[in-house]
Structure 1
């Protein structure tokens, strides 16, 4: 996967920087690399359950992660999306149920946010030097006109299980959902294996179930966007069941024509975002949904994000915006209820 233009790594778990002070160490931990980033699963022994005795549990975790990567990577030439992106109109590509599920979610978030999220924006991303593209200058107006003609969900032709395109050069990138979706797949695999208390984290996006080793809720944090090297928490929330994903503009930028350009793009105008959003975090039952919404809300900005959360009522938001040297917070009431003081 992209390693990635949405490289968040802005979420810190109970282990690591926040620590689990005063508690026993988690009983079982699996770590690895997949989709161009790190992953970690922390499991609590519970009611006599011993994760070490579950045959192939690590293999089950890696199978879910590898399956998402094989289907949705834009870096692997043999992935479903890479084959679709190379295809010409009329040469549709058969997609797996998993890829269709993520594409449907992407369309749902696109509609919910008025087009602030669009998985067909990849040609624009590459034109600015992200996502494997190369750029030394900002695209010209003529180039932007050509790029806009290749962006839009209406250019995709749904003939399930076949996905086709109506014009050449249309590409799909599900990286803003895939890590969260991978977290959900691992979550479901663990539950199917009898695991009830755990934390799953893939590249900064995470989901928890049950309680941590000391019996309390998991504490997870949103990284301070003012730090360029050290990863320190800016806000901490308490979770027992649910997911947290964050999108930020401070880890992945390029300089074009003397200006710093964010890796986050507004598909509605086919340009990098011009807002002052430093980071946007979403709490939701599903990590895939939280992942996609975090990207979209970074485009919309704080006030609109809080308003949308109140309307939708199935996710909570926390947006940090820059105002000169200050940081300004926009949080939904539900997020504030989950928030705990920094130590």
Structure 2
């Protein structure tokens, strides 16, 4: 779930070219300023599509033939050699898990399925206590270890990289576009994005941070100029269900096995690496408005929090976010 949109692109005429397509169950868009000795849009699209197809073959939990699905199908006690991309993301996820005392965890897929939000879900529902305890026993980064270059599982745990793979894709695509000679572009993949350089008129790419103005409508809360940063927003106001008068979010606290219950509606993180922004926005969303803000300030993160307050919302930014994206006078 994202609360990001590109804004201020009008007035660029035909100088900004665009292409995109489906990916990761959603879509991607690339906007760029053409330059001499740079491939045309069709060739750039082929390069991007190849990167995304490779990542899909590795990380899609909706494909039985993906590498992650093959790992997830292995029984307890199994080990498997993983490609470099997957090992890199597992190591990053493990670092976040340790840094947050388990608030971030790449093994929550059994809980997602149980509550109705995962790839093997049947329907959204509140599970019974026995089922919840059974699936919780399969969740936890402590159940995984790296051994002789292979990832091993001590229980029947399952990996799900959805909380970080889109950000990683943004980084990989951005790096490739820069290598092909592009200096001014904006990459957006399933809502995660990175902007580099400027528009043809010399102004910055601008991104709107939005809040819901109605039950499922949105309004711009703040617009930020972005150059060289990835932006990621995690939130719960669009992906949830209600049962017995209680709202259940798709964001889970791996430590309890339950959907988060705090008042944080969304949090945006900016970082030079879209991968880090993606993972950290999920982590802060799990921690909530108080613990998350404290974590972000302590670690010097650029984060923007949108918190439910009665029938409306309040916002709060970390000092690093205000430093990078000051409000215009």
TM range (shorter): over 0.9
CA gap 1:258/1:98 in 2 versus in 1, 3 angstroms = same
Corresponding residue number in structure 2 for 1:80? 67
**Deviation (angstroms), 1:243:** 0.6
Per-residue deviation, 1:180: 0.6
Equivalent residue for 2:22, pick from 26, 30, 33? 33
In structure 2, the residue corresponding to 1:174 is in which secondary structure?
Answer: coil
Separation in structure 2 between the aligned mates of residue 160 and residue 70 of structure 1, nearest angstrom = 24
Which is worse superposed, 58-67 or 171-180?
A: 58-67
The equivalent residue for 1:150 is 138
1:335–1:151 Cα change, 3 Å: same
How many angstroms apart in 2 are the aligned matches of 1:43 and 1:122?
Answer: 36
1:23 equivalent in alignment to 2:12:
yes
1:323 aligned residue? 309
**Unaligned ranges ≥5, structure 2:** none
Deviation at 1:143, TM superposition (A): 1.9
Cα gap change, 1:273/1:197 in structure 2, threshold over 3 Å: closer, same or farther?
A: same
- Is residue 11 from structure 1 mapped to residue 18 from structure 2 by the alignment? no
Cα distance in 2 for residues equivalent to 1:32 and 1:213:
24
Q: RMSD of aligned C-alpha atoms?
A: 2.0
1:249 & 1:35 partners in 2: Cα distance? 19
SS at match of 2:163: helix
For residue 21 of structure 1, report the CA deviation from its aligned partner: 3.6
Q: Deviations over 1:311-337 (max 9, x none)?
A: 222x30011111211312121122224
Residue 107 of structure 1: SS of its match in structure 2? Answer: helix
Separation in structure 2 between the aligned mates of residue 240 and residue 31 of structure 1, nearest angstrom = 21
Q: Which runs of 5+ in 1 are unaligned?
A: 1-6
Q: Is the 8 A contact 1:207 1:242 kept in 2?
A: yes
Matched length? 327
User: Are the aligned partners of 1:72 and 1:79 in contact in 2 as well (CA < 8 Å)?
Assistant: yes
Counterpart CA distance in 1 for 2:218 and 2:245 is: 27
2:233: which partner in 1?
A: 246
Q: Partners of 1:213 and 1:131 in 2: how far apart? A: 42
1:130 aligns with: 117
Equivalent of 2:268 in 275, 281, 287: 281
Deviation at 1:45, TM superposition (A): 2.5
Asked whether the 8 Å contact 1:12–1:233 carries over to 2, the reply is no
Cross-structure match for 1:139: 127
